[in-house]
Structures are given as C-alpha cells and as structure tokens.
Structure 1
Amino acid sequence: MTDTEADNGSEKNKKNPAFKYGPIAIIVIGFILFFALGGHKYVSLDTLKEQKVTFKAFVEGNYFIAALAFMSAYAALTAISFPGAWVLSLLGGFLFGTLIGGSFIVIGATVGAAVIFLAVRYAFRDWFKDKLGGKTLEKFEKGLQENELSYLFILRLVPAFPFFVVNIAPALFGVKFRNYLVTTFFGIMPGSFVYASVGAGIGAALDAGEDAGLSGIMTQPTVLLPIIGLIILALIPVIYKKIKGNPAES
C-alpha cells in the first residue's frame, strides 16, 4: 500500500461516522449502563467499610490480578467521567498502601483520561471548531500552545476544576496529546498520593467507627500549600516569557 492510499484510508475513517463517533458512543453507553445496573451504589465509602476484609483477603491471595483489576476499574470509571472515582483512590491506598496505591491511581487515571480525551477530540473537535469559528479558535490555541505545558499543569493542580472537566476541555482545543499525557500523569500525582495516604490509614478509622468525611481534604493547609507551590512553579515559565517579551522601559 502506498502512502497516498494510506492517507486516503485515514481520511475515509475520519469521515466514517462509525469510526468518528464509535468510541464516544461506547463511552456514553458504558456510562448509562454503569448507573442503570447500580454500579454507582457500590463505589462508596459504605462499600469500603462493609467489604474491607473481603477486599484485603483478595489482594493478599491475588495481588497481581487485584492490581490489574484496580487500575482497569479506575481507568474505566475515569473514561466514562464518573465523578465518584475519588472513592477508588481511597480504596487504592487502603489496599496497596500510599506509594504503590498512589502509583496505581496515577496509572489508571492517566489511561482513562487519555481514552476520553481521544474520543472527544476525534468526535467533536471539528464541530467545536466550526461553531466557535476557525480564526477565533486559532488565536486562542496559539496563546495556549505558547505555554501549553504550564497551563495544563495548572489545570491539573488546581483542585477547583473537576477532574472530568479537565479531561474533556483540552480535547476541544489544539492541545498536543503528548503534552496532555505528560501533564496528566505528573499533574495528578499530588492529589493521588494525598488520597492514597488517607486511604492507607482509613482502615483503623473505619474499625473505630469514625466518620471518614473527606469533603475538605484538599483545602487543608498541609495539602493545599504544597499544591500552591507547584502551581507557582508551573507559572514561572509563563511569567518569564511575559517579562522577556515585554521588557520594562528604562
């Protein structure tokens, strides 16, 4: 097959609705089925509390399978944009410890984020560009791409932005998949290891009958201050370019 034939085949795939909308349709169906079958009822702190002994026993007897199952489940829930995936973060820390559990969370979340990013970009990128206007979008993308890594890191580090929103929004703009993947992998590490750390110590709290309320965990000074520091580091290249590009008049 010649390069021309390969390019023609690629263009046909892009125009074929089955190839263009198939991945996003699978994700939407998965989301609907997950809730229709009551899956959301099992991803909860109550389930963790009731089944903690069973979970622990399974991991001890089937560590490799449990690790793969956990990362696959995390990737799947991330891909369908399930908002309660943070419970799995606690479970990861509870089952595998802070370092290993946190690493599994990062891997699973990154894979799932990559899936939804590619599906959304492939299905809706052209439509979004047409609606917004080519020139308007190109101007915005140019500014974004000048500091793409810094901006993407900030989006990942700022707790104010829901994870699933940050997974989808960059797909509609001209963000490079490589940069998206790198910033996702490293940008979610702080939050992932925080939740894994909480999960690693949650067993004793559950045994004692304590409330595992975590709504304010990401706003605690011990968690928020390091994240603010990382945000400042991510902003340094942007500030440097601004100063370099607009030197003060003497």
Structure 2
Amino acid sequence: MTDTTETDKTGIGRMLPILLIGTVAVAGAFTLKDYLTFQALADNREALLAFRDSNYVGTVLGFIVIYTLIVAFSLPGAMIATLTGGFLFATFPGALFNMTAATLGATAIFMAARWGFGEKLGAKLEASDGMVKKIKDGIDENQWSMLFLIRLVPAVPFFVANLVPSFLEVPLRRFMISTFFGIIPGSVVYTSVGAGLGAVFERGETPNLGIIFEPQIIGPIIGLCVLAALPILIKAVRGKQGL
C-alpha cells in the first residue's frame, strides 16, 4: 500500500512541471493576448528605446529572461518578442539574443516533458515490436537530421518541435545544439524585420510577417531542409539496395 502511494506521489510530482506549463499557457492566452502585441510595441517603443539607452546590459538580460519565459510557458507573443529583439538591438546582436532565449525556453519545455512522461514513453517505444519500433529506430539513426529538419520547416509548430524529441530519448545536448542552430534562418529573417520597425512605425504600417514565405527567403530555407534530409534519404536508398 505504501509503495503504491509513494509511486503515485512520485508520478504526480513528475507531472507537475508540464502541468504548470500547461496551466500558465492557458491563463496567458487569455490574460496577455492584448499586451504582447505589435500595437503594444508601437505604443511603448520610445520608452523601450530610452530604457535601452540608459541601461543596455540590463535591457539585454531582461529581454532574454522575458523571451525565455514566453517560450517556456508557450505564452502568446513569441513573434512580437523576436521583432522586439531586432527593434532594440538590430539584426546583430539581436538575432543572437533571440536564439539564446528561444533555445533556453525550448529546453525548459523539453525537460519538463521528459521529466513528466518522456522517459516512460521512450521506454515503451523501445520495448515495442513491429512498425512502431522500426519508426523509432529510424528516428534514432537519423536524430541530427530529423532535429534540424523539424526546426527548419516553417510549418512545424515550435511547441511541437520541443515536445517530440522529449519522447524519443534525444540527448539534452543534441537537442540544444540542433535547436540553436536550426532556428538561425527564421530568427535572422524576423529579427531583421524587427530591425526595420522604426521606419514602419513612422509610416504607420505593420510589418510583413509573411516575408519568410517569399521566394527569395523560403528558397534557401527549403535548400537547407533538403540538406538536412539528405542523410535520411541516402540511408533509405542504401537500405533498399542492401548496401
């Protein structure tokens, strides 16, 4: 009886981080949607620039902490945070700050999900038979390629790309490296958009957030996706040929 009770408590305790993230995400979706917006950035731009000019290091640290929390708790406004990074700090080092914060936030979700149920699910997949085991083995053999691929493809939601690796026993170090470098293209594109917000504000316009899907932008990203997928395709062909 005692062992069962202790196991239940341990199970509930392990689920607390991911439950906390889910609770804050839902609450934030209702309470923060009017604050983390482009209009809020436009209305407070002068105050933000003045604070940055008077305390640059504090602004950088505060920005990274806030952006990390936005990603870690899946709060609305991640895109606005990326634009803000460019607006306050230019394309560089703004992109570096954005990538650092996004990686830290993604790692928090990854660890919470793994702590809660990722290890058990990974063990079940490993012990399974048939097609499920083959799929997991295929992902395990091509982890680097798969991790970069889900980061590069714009259609894959960032939250999903954080959760899936936690279920597949991906090492933490590998997850962090692939996240940081995999989000470079998108981060640089949107940070550069943020860097040009001064002129956008003066014209009373809104930025083109669909820029990443324009041919001159999406073309190179698709090329990177192909490169990331190439090792998978080569292994698949060799496997069929028995090489």
Provide the TM-score with structure 1 as the length reference: 0.85
The answer to whether structure 1 residue 140 and structure 2 residue 135 are counterparts is yes
Alpha-carbon separation, structure 2, partners of 1:149 and 1:113? 17
Amino acid at match of 1:70: F
Task: State the partner residue of 1:222.
Answer: 216
Cα pair 2:32 2:76 within 8 Å, conserved: no
Cα pair 1:83 1:164 within 8 Å, conserved: no
Post-superposition offset of 1:170: 1.9
Q: How does 1:84-233 map to 2 (within 5 A)?
A: 84-125=77-118, 128=121, 134-136=127-129, 137-214=132-209, 216-233=210-227
Alpha-carbon separation, structure 2, partners of 1:24 and 1:240? 37
Q: Give CA-to-partner distance per residue, 1:114-172, whole Å, 9 cap, x none.
A: 01011012112256468879415543221101111101111000001111111112212
Amino acid at match of 1:162: P
Amino acid at match of 2:113: V
Farther-moved stretch of structure 1 (173-182 vs 202-211): 173-182
Amino acid at match of 2:91: T
Cα pair 2:139 2:146 within 8 Å, conserved: yes
Q: Give CA-to-partner distance per residue, 1:65-106, whole Å, 9 cap, x none.
A: 111111111111111123531111001000001011100110
**Percent of aligned pairs with the same amino acid:** 39
Cα pair 2:29 2:76 within 8 Å, conserved: no
Farther-moved stretch of structure 1 (80-89 vs 90-99): 80-89
Task: State the partner residue of 1:63.
Answer: 56
Q: How does 1:14-29 map to 2 (within 5 A)?
A: 16-17=10-11, 19-29=13-23
Say how many residue pairs are matched.
236
Task: State the partner residue of 2:3.
Answer: none
Post-superposition offset of 1:64: 0.8
Alpha-carbon separation, structure 2, partners of 1:243 and 1:200? 44
**Runs of at least 5 residues in structure 2 that lack an aligned partner in the other structure:** 1-5
Alpha-carbon separation, structure 1, partners of 2:126 and 2:181? 33
Alpha-carbon separation, structure 2, partners of 1:246 and 1:238? 12
- Aligned to 2:109, the other structure's residue is in SS state helix
Amino acid at match of 2:234: Y
Amino acid at match of 2:110: F
> Closer, same or farther in 2 for the Cα pair 1:34/1:23, shift >3 Å?
same
Match of residue 238, structure 2, among 233, 240, 244:
244
> Closer, same or farther in 2 for the Cα pair 1:185/1:14, shift >3 Å?
farther
> Closer, same or farther in 2 for the Cα pair 1:30/1:248, shift >3 Å?
closer
Alpha-carbon separation, structure 2, partners of 1:198 and 1:67? 19
**Runs of at least 5 residues in structure 1 that lack an aligned partner in the other structure:** 1-11
Alpha-carbon separation, structure 2, partners of 1:32 and 1:231? 32
- Aligned to 2:194, the other structure's residue is in SS state helix
